Chain A
Amino acid sequence: MSSQHEEEPVLVPTSVTSPRQSPRPAIRTERIALVDLLDRVLAGGVVVSGEVTLAIADVDMVRVSLRALVTSASALIKAGDDEEVPGQ
């Protein structure tokens, strides 16, 4: 497993607020997990068609971006595999 991605930006939800571990409801003060953010800025928000200079279809955009994410994320996960989930 290559370790070249160890220094890369965090992809896993570092700001996880698992209610079972922590009753704090808000994440505003913590760093938002990129996956959660992309769920919202790529799949949410209003799409105004027609006049925009960029005519990338919604689905295309999500797929394009997720391809970038998956490529980097899977490398990250592989790199982190050894320390993870001993009970599995």
Chain B
Amino acid sequence: MQPNGIWVYAITERVDLTPLAQIRGVGGRGVRTVAAAGLTAVVEDVGLAEFGEEALRRNLEDLDWLEAAARAHHGVIDAVAQQGPLVPMRLATVYSDDARIAAVLTERGADFRSALRRITGRMEWGVKAYADRQPEASDDSAVTAGASRPGGGAGAAYLQRRRNQLTAQKNARRETLASAEMIHAALSGYAAETRVHTPQAPQLTGIKAPMILNAAYLLDSARGGEFAAAVTALAEQHPALRLELTGPWPPYSFAGTGGEGGLT
């Protein structure tokens, strides 16, 4: 397979390729660099039969291919991130030759440098909140209310039960949303920047409880432990929500260089 595409992983100031020698990228080859204007792009040569535009459109629909590519892309970025700040590229950024990559490094050098400055010494953490206890809470209150009401026919009892159930559901929803906002506000206090992602659908998470917060936080590296402890404390204060913490991540959600390079 003739490699005439160049997959770009990340842009950084400099990178030592020695620790990356064992890393295999999306195309199974090793990575190399393209340098210009004091910046370095970490790249891999890829064949257009698999990574050309048409092939990519097809392959991105193939879950196995997508997963392998996402993990390989992340694997390289994560390894490079061990060496210092980087601007990760979105999956499937493919150029046709080194000269074009060098031109981008030169033309947008100022943007990349300012992004690198914002990211230096910082990592991304993710927090997701699920409205976990909602159905149980409403069921309980409905049963209690129905059972404790003497007299009245079965129909009236049913209506009352149904009304209580709906009220309880509405209240529970309002409370969990308020809790999620409080949690996000509290965690934002630790972060240099925050981003709120679209909540993941239950079909994707495999968790039936609806996700009501999917946020990313850019933290000074030294604050990771403190942040994790805060998440644990907030989870205890808000038992109706289930919190999940992920990270530290390379700063995918915060690498926007401003202007058209902005994220999400």
Contact = CB atoms under 8 A, between A and B. Distances in A.
B252 A45 contact: yes
Interface string A17-60: 11110010111100011111111111111111101111110100
A47 B60 CA distance: 17
Nearest to B261: A46
Interface residues of chain A: helix, strand, loop or mixed (majority) = loop
A46 B203 contact: no
A64 B204 contact: no
B180 to A, nearest CB: 15
Interface residues on A, range: 35 or more
B61 interface: yes
A73 B206 contact: yes
B232 A52 contact: no
A45 B207 CA distance: 26
Interface in A63-88: 64-74, 76-77, 80, 84-85, 87-88
Contact of B263 (A11, A44, A53, A87): A44
Contacts of B124: 40
A83 B8 CA distance: 42
Interface string B45-58: 00010001100110
Contact of A46 (B61, B89, B95): B89
Contact of A17 (B201, B245, B263): B245
Contacts of A34: 67, 70
Contact of B228 (A12, A16, A25, A43): A25
Most central of A33, A45, A71 by chain B CB within 10 Å: A45
Interface of B: 5, 8, 11, 48, 52-53, 56-57, 60-64, 66-67, 70-71, 73-74, 87-96, 100, 103-104, 108, 115, 124, 126, 135-136, 197-198, 200-208, 214, 216, 224-225, 227-229, 231-232, 235-236, 242-249, 252-253, 255-257, 260-261, 263-264
12 contacts: A16-B244, A19-B228, A26-B248, A34-B67, A41-B88, A44-B263, A45-B89, A48-B8, A48-B93, A52-B95, A58-B90, A65-B60
